[in-house]
Amino acid sequence: MINITIDDKEISARENQTILQVAKENGIKIPHLCFHPALKPSGACKLCGVEVVSPTGKQVVMLSCIIKVKEDLKVKTNSELVKARREQAFNKLLQMAPDSLRIRNLAKEFNVAITPPPNGCIRCRLCIRVCSEIVKAKALKMEKTPNGSRVVPNPGCCIGCGTCANLCPTNIIKVVDQDSVRTVSIKEEIIGQLPLERCEGCTKMYATSNFLKHVGETTLAHPDTKEHHNLCPSCIKLMSNRAITERERIHK
């Protein structure tokens, strides 16, 4: 048997065993993804690094799935040097597989700080600008966070017009109408949830109450004396076509 020390715990190991194999047999957790007991280790994921003393006497991080045990070997699995290398390895993997829950959950298990998963937003600010400059609802803003700037909602300001979703170049902003409610969201984060109004013509749910109210308020100064109806674009177009046809018939 070979006597080694892992995290100040004396352990007996068998000849030709790797540090990772010994650690697993003794309930010592070391993160790993590319290791499988039926295959020759490759060290591809770089997550299983541990601190050992090199032949020159220097403390270095080496991959525990590859390094075999030797007499009086001293191993540290959670030193500051290991933590730094581990964080680098996790974030490098996430660059290739940013939405991998397995990698993120493993990093969380070992208290590794990792970059947040991308949500598809490229920070072009088109949604913020159109909402502020054209729609004038000012429902979106850019907020600085420890992980960089991101688009967030101004609570209670969304009118559910969907203009931001129409302009979003990556289609990350979604508008979903369900059960008489319109939900506008940026991936998991809800911008607004608003009740829908029914078209007086075809009875289809077509626009939010807040949007119709906003349109009425912003066009209040317009010299318009006609009676207003809640009509969807399709019904308005249909009625306009009928009006044109009727006018042409009268003038024949």
Has residue 119 been placed in a domain?
no
**Distance, first Cα to last Cα, the chain:** 108
Residue 154: closest CA among 114, 186, 124? 186
Q: Are both 90 and 174 inside the same structural domain? A: no
How does the average pLDDT of the chain come out, rounded?
A: 88
Asked if residue 119 lies in contact with residue 108, where contact means CB atoms within 8 angstroms, the answer is: no
Averaged over 164-177, what is the pLDDT?
A: 94
Strands 181-186 and 173-178: antiparallel
Averaged over 137-147, what is the pLDDT?
A: 88
Q: What is the pLDDT of residues 233-245, one digit of tens each?
A: 788 777 766 656 6
Has residue 120 been placed in a domain?
no
Reported pTM: 0.61
Q: Are both 134 and 238 inside the same structural domain? A: yes
Has residue 114 been placed in a domain?
no
Residue 99 has a pLDDT of: 83
Residue 17: closest CA among 28, 27, 3, 29? 3
Token couple for 81: 């040097």
- Write down which residue in 63, 79, 109 finishes a domain: 109
Q: What is the pLDDT of residues 82-112, one digit of tens each?
A: 999 999 999 999 999 988 999 999 999 999 9
Domain coverage including residue 63:
2-109
Burial of 167 (0-12, 13-18, 19+ CB in 10 A): middle
Q: Are both 133 and 89 inside the same structural domain? A: no
Residue 225 has a pLDDT of: 44
Q: What is the pLDDT of residues 12-52, one digit of tens each?
A: 999 999 999 999 999 999 999 999 989 999 999 999 999 99
Q: Is the pLDDT of residue 226 over 60?
A: no
- Write down which residue in 80, 109, 138 finishes a domain: 109
If one counts the domains in the chain, the total is: 2
Report the percentage of the chain scoring pLDDT > 90. 64
Q: Are both 23 and 101 inside the same structural domain? A: yes
The better pLDDT of the pair 222, 22 is held by 22
Residue 45 has a pLDDT of: 95
